[in-house]
Amino acid sequence: MPTCISALKNPIPNKCLHDPDQGLRPTGCYYCRIKIDKSNGMVPMLALPKDRFASDCRRELVQLHTTLKQELLAASGSEKKQAALLVELRACEEAIKRIDNGYFGLCKVCGEAIELNRLKAEPTTSCCLSCESKN
């Protein structure tokens, strides 16, 4: 059985943390959601091997990082623009570190998986919508 995303908080290799006798849960672990999506004929991006998903995200973030560095050098006259670019650059560096450390896609506040659409829209995000809205 694949590793459950929620197991990344308390790593237990190749085990899902929910009770398999309770059946699949749409709001349950990553493995359950993937099984349900496959049964509906849909295979979301997270169904790709975890390493490939992280690799794709890392590649995009490295490209973004390079672009931001170039823009930062070009924006030498505008302090506001430089400050905004530095914030984005740091967020990008932190996201790359989370990928390298195996925590990309997990909320830094609650530890739950960040919604896929949120990661696609903002790959540098480190919080789920629920925790973000509390701040």
Per-residue confidence (pLDDT) for residue 82, from 0 to 100: 81
The number of folded domains in the chain is 1
Let me know if residue 25 belongs to a domain.
yes
For the whole model, what pTM was predicted?
0.53
Let me know if residue 99 belongs to a domain.
no
Q: Which two tokens stand for residue 14?
A: 């190749």
Let me know if residue 111 belongs to a domain.
no
Question: What does the pLDDT look like over 61-76, one tens digit per residue?
Answer: 888 888 888 887 787 7
Burial (CB count <10 Å: 0-12, 13-18, 19+), residue 120? exposed
Per-residue confidence (pLDDT) for residue 68, from 0 to 100: 83
Per-residue confidence (pLDDT) for residue 107, from 0 to 100: 92
Let me know if residue 18 belongs to a domain.
yes
Range of the domain at 29: 1-47
Phi, psi of 112 (to 5 degrees): -80, 165
Question: What does the pLDDT look like over 22-55, one tens digit per residue?
Answer: 444 444 444 444 444 444 444 444 444 556 667 7
Let me know if residue 17 belongs to a domain.
yes
C-beta separation of 19 from 28 below 8 A: no
Per-residue confidence (pLDDT) for residue 94, from 0 to 100: 92
Who's near 3: CB < 8 A, 6+ residues apart?
Answer: 11, 12, 13, 14, 15, 16, 31, 50
